[in-house]
Each structure stands twice: as structure tokens, then as C-alpha cells.
Structure 1
Amino acid sequence: MKGLLSIFLLLNLTISFPVGAEPTIHSSELQQYLSELEWSEDNLHEYLHKFDLSLDDFHSTAELKKFLGKQNTEENLTEVLTKYSLTNDELELLLAKFGEEINDFKFIKDIDNDVSFYLNHDADLNIISDFLSLFGLTSQELIHLIHHFHSIDQSQISENINVLSTKISEYEAKETETDESYEALLNIWVEMFDAFHIRPEFYITTHAEDVAIPVTDLSEVENIHDNILYVKMYNEEGMELADMNFSSEVLDNDLLGESVHEVLNLAQLSANYTETVLGKKLPQTATPYLMNSLFGLGFSIISLLLFIGTRKLFLTKR
């Protein structure tokens, strides 16, 4: 019995404390793989960052390769075209609507994921695009906004969308339309810009004057619905994303409120992309060390029970 107990204790120690350090990616193997990809290590870090990952999350080059998948080659691209019954020209047109090109992709799995998402949401994007074009938003500016929404922190985006949707719904529930109500609606726009890290600049053009007048405080503008409102949108680095204009006819028909809904829909589309496309590519990088610890715990319990049983048997014989 003592011999059996010793074996269990030895197994317990071996499994609970595995010999050797946790495996890591060898630098030489990584550099060879990067050479095949024609990438620098910074390129790889930037790519993994999209998935909130780093090289520390991988324990071998093989595991990294499995996560990244096949490279974007003409042969591998044919698999995607066949899967979705697309021609090469149709694929290019679809990606272009979202501001992408085939050569933008290093890995075929990314093209596959994006095509799947875009085909499922193409109609949604067309509705948003058609409506916002009423306010001068071009297809290229729509792409700029999509890229911007992809670039910001997604952790709070859904919550911000819900808060802003509630506010715009409360505004629309009010039947009276006054300068104060227009100001409240414009303030919702300002809150939306702040939530999505967009820096706006407002300009007012009266019917009698063609010069756009910068406005720092919208509350100072008298009879705002009798003017034309221009909005220029920049990211936090100062790059212009888009500009929109709202005529007095638009303001009188309350389309300004509906335009908030469509911008929120565009932001939600970006959030859905992050969740369904980027989220599903997260790797299974769990190591066997947790499982070893659980086995070790199990053997510890068995060893303890054997020790107690042996002790009782010894005391009984005495």
C-alpha cells in the first residue's frame, strides 16, 4: 500500500509541476515565416492587434500559422469565388463598396469572412447610403466613416448606440417643433460625434448669403431652421472624414432626426462586423498547463484519501 501511495504522490508532483518552461515561438522560425509573408514584425503585431492579440498568445510558429490560415493567392481566391458564386469582377465591386480591394488582404480567411458579412448586410448598407446621400454624403465619405468606426474602441459602442437611440426617440415623441427643439436635436448630433470620437465643425449659410459662417455655439443661431447647416467631420488626428449639409427644407421635414438613426445604424453595422468577423477568428491558444493543474488536484485528493485509508488500516491492526 505504501508503494502505491508513493507512485500516486510522484505522479501528482510530475503533473502539477511540468518540467521545462512554457513553449514560445522561436525567433528564427518567426523570421522565416515573416519572410514568406513579405511582412515585418510590426506588420504582424498590427494585424494581431485587430483581434486584441499579440505574439505572446501563441506558443509555436505552427500555432500562429494555423490561426492566420492560407495566404491570399490566386489559387486560394478561387475557393472563395466558388463558395459564393462570384466572379472576380463581382468580388472587386463588392469589396469596393466597403472601401477594400482584393490586394488589401494578406490571408484568404479574411476575404472569406468579409465577403460573408458584406453579402448578408449589403441591403442594409444600400439603405443607409441612399438616405445619407440626401445630405450630400458621398460613397467615398461613407467608406471613410466605416473605416473610422472600425478603428475606434468597440467596447462601449453598443452602449453609446443604445443611449443615443433612446434620446432621439424621446425627441421624436415630442410633437412641438421650436428653435429649442432643433437645438436639442443638434445637441444629440454633438453627443453622437463625441461618443464616436468625431470632431465636428459647424457652418451656417443663410439664403441671403453664400458664405459659410463658422459656428462655435449652435444655441446662438437665431431661427436655425431658416438657414442651411453644414457639418464637417474630422477624426481625432484631424483627417476629414465627411461633410453633410442640411437645408431648411430638410430641417422643416424633420429629416435631421432620421439622419441620426442612419448614422447610428452605420455604427451598429461596424459593431456587428467587429463581433461576427473579428470575434470568430480568435484562436484557441489555451495551454495544457491548466489541464495539468486539474489532474494534479485530482491526484492530490486521491493521494490524501489513500493516506487516510492506510493510516486507518494501520491503526486498526494495532
Structure 2
Amino acid sequence: MRKWIVSVSLLLVFCHSYHVRAAVRMADIEPYVREVGWTEMDLQRYLLQYHRTLADFATKEELKRWLGPPVTEAGVERLLQRYQLTEEQLEALLGQFGETIQDYTWMNDLDTAVRFYLRTYEHMQRVHDALSSLEFTEDEAKRLFDHVRALPANGKRELQAQATRLTDGKNDLEVLADVWQQLLRTLQLKADMYIVATGQMKPVSARELLERNARDEDVWIALSDEEGMRIMDLQLPKRTNVVDAMIETEKELLTAGQLAYDMKGTLYGQKMANTASPYVANMVWGVVLLFIGLFLFRKKKVVR
């Protein structure tokens, strides 16, 4: 009897182990991926955003369920009805974040984004309104959000802390300069700041700019990621109070950064929460079966 119990337990474990090792092949999914206009690299990049690879899916059907239905005209129409939007309103909503419907491949992602954007529309509109005088564009908003979404998730707490410092110390030039540096460090951005006068661009630091408070010169601020890719350009025209402009810029960039982190948590967190790898569960189940078998074997031995 005990041999039978152990044999069955081991057989179940090995069956589960075999199932765990099974994974969908690119050859199986490639025709479906091509249907939505993706390449193998597109799919791999998408999975990587959720810390996934093809090895995390046992079958093509499982991967398709995880991806959800692709974006179609019928799907978009149902989404518009669900949120009582027109197509023009949807495009305007996405445009606030530098996006279009065409940027989305999967309906679940588009639906999640729309719900998030509807909740945060007023905040993002305020950011746009405040920075529009500094030539902040929708394309720059998209680049900023895409950049922040690739950063570690713990940055939001630091941005919140700096927002509090800014509120408490907005009359202190040293605090303003330090908040600016902390903001850049948290968002992993580099800032090149220039005073433009008589056709020449003179580089300055944030502290020098604040102390100078130049009203008769244009100020240009270029923000790039750590690899040198330009994220945005901000321009302060003449007769601008530089201190006030820097306070407003810091405040709105802090807001935009926090929104981007919220967006990251919403778009990625929800999908990851609903897609725990089945292989972890299978492995656990296999181990449980093994322990059950060993326990029954031990119990049988004790009884004897």
C-alpha cells in the first residue's frame, strides 16, 4: 500500500513538473501576433513590462486570455458607450497624456487607461494649463509619462515628500534649488539651464537662476533622461518672475510625476494582480502532493 501511495504521489509531482516546464512557443503564437500588427520583439517588450516571458504561459490560449481582445472598432464603440464618451472626447482625453487610440493594441489596456484618465483628467489639465506658457506640449507629456513608467515604483513617495517641502519652503531659495535637484534625481532626469541674451546661451545652475531672477532675458530649460534622450523643453519668456515660474514648474512636474506613477500602478499593477504565473501554483501543488504522499507513508509506517 505504501509503495502505491508514494508511486502515485511521485507520478503526480512529475506530471505537474512536466506541465510546469511546458511553455508556449513563438511559432504557436506568431500568426496571432502578426494579426494585430506586432512582431516577436513587440510581444517580448510588452511582456517584459509586466516582468513576463513566453515561458510563463503554457498554451497559446492562456497567453491570448492574458492579453485580452485586440482593439477593434466594435470594441472602441462599446467602450465609448460604457463611459458615455464621443470618439472626439476620447481622443481629447488621451491627448492630455500624449496618446491616441492607435497607441493601444489591447482593449483591456485601453479600458484601464480611460478609467484612470477620467479620474485624473482635471489634475492633468491643470498641469497642461500651468505649463502651457512654458511651451509644454502633448508630445512632451507622453515622453514624460513613458519615461516615469519605466522607473522604479518607489519614486512616488519621494515626489510626495518633495511636494511637501516645496509647499513649506517656497520662500526659501535654497529649498527651491534643492527640491529641483531632488526632483531631477527621483525622475532620473538631467537639466540643462540657459539664460539667452543677445543671441548667446549662457549655462546656469538652478541656484544661480533663482538668485539672478532675470526679467530681461529668456530662460531655456532642457530636460533629458540619463542617456541624453530629450524629454521636454521649457521656455521662460522675458519679464517672467523666474522664482515664481520655477515654483510653478516644480509643483506641476511633481504632480505630473505622481500621476505617472499612479498610471503605472494602475495599468501594470492591475494586470499583474490578475495574472500570477500558473507555474508557481503548479509547483506548489506538486510539492503539496509530494508532502501528502510522504505524510501518508509516514502515518502508515507508524500504525504498523
The code of the aligned residue for 2:81 comes to T
Distance 2:132 2:151 in 1: 27
* Superposition deviation, residue 149 in structure 1: 2.0
Distance 2:46 2:84 in 1: 28
Residue 200 (structure 1) aligned to one of 188, 191, 203:
191
- Per the alignment, residue 276 of structure 2 pairs with 284
Alignment of 1:1-318 (within 5 A): 3=1, 5-18=2-15, 20=18, 22-150=21-149, 152-172=150-170, 181-205=172-196, 209-218=197-206, 223-227=211-215, 228=217, 229-246=219-236, 249-251=240-242, 254-282=244-272, 283-287=275-279, 288-310=282-304
* Superposition deviation, residue 182 in structure 1: 2.5
Structure 1 alignment gaps of length 5 or more: 311-318
CA deviations 1:286-313 (Å, max 9, x no partner) are 2323112112212311221121011xxx
Question: Which protein has the larger Cα radius of gyration, Structure 1 or Structure 2?
Answer: 1
Deviates more, 1:153-162 or 1:196-205: 153-162
* Superposition deviation, residue 248 in structure 1: 6.1
Identity %: 22
The code of the aligned residue for 1:124 comes to H
SS in 2 for 1:185: helix
The code of the aligned residue for 1:256 comes to M
Is the alpha carbon distance of 1:200 and 1:23 closer, same or farther for their aligned partners in structure 2, counting shifts above 3 Å?
same
Distance 2:287 2:211 in 1: 71
SS in 2 for 1:106: coil
* Paired residues of 1:183 and 1:218 also in contact (CA < 8 A): no
Distance 1:58 1:145 in 2: 32
The code of the aligned residue for 2:18 comes to G
Distance 1:189 1:114 in 2: 29
Is the alpha carbon distance of 1:306 and 1:117 closer, same or farther for their aligned partners in structure 2, counting shifts above 3 Å?
same
SS in 1 for 2:169: helix
The code of the aligned residue for 1:302 comes to L
Distance 1:29 1:140 in 2: 37
The code of the aligned residue for 1:73 comes to T
Is the alpha carbon distance of 1:97 and 1:169 closer, same or farther for their aligned partners in structure 2, counting shifts above 3 Å?
closer
* Superposition deviation, residue 199 in structure 1: 1.9
Is the alpha carbon distance of 1:235 and 1:61 closer, same or farther for their aligned partners in structure 2, counting shifts above 3 Å?
same
* Superposition deviation, residue 170 in structure 1: 4.7
* Paired residues of 2:180 and 2:206 also in contact (CA < 8 A): no
The code of the aligned residue for 1:214 comes to K
Distance 2:137 2:110 in 1: 25
Distance 2:210 2:165 in 1: 24
Say what the alpha-carbon RMSD is for the aligned residues: 2.6
* Paired residues of 1:198 and 1:235 also in contact (CA < 8 A): yes
Is the alpha carbon distance of 1:28 and 1:239 closer, same or farther for their aligned partners in structure 2, counting shifts above 3 Å?
closer
SS in 2 for 1:230: strand
Is the alpha carbon distance of 1:212 and 1:243 closer, same or farther for their aligned partners in structure 2, counting shifts above 3 Å?
farther
* Paired residues of 1:203 and 1:230 also in contact (CA < 8 A): yes
Q: Structure 1 length normalisation: TM-score?
A: 0.82
* Paired residues of 2:97 and 2:142 also in contact (CA < 8 A): yes
* Superposition deviation, residue 219 in structure 1: 5.0
- Per the alignment, residue 316 of structure 1 pairs with none
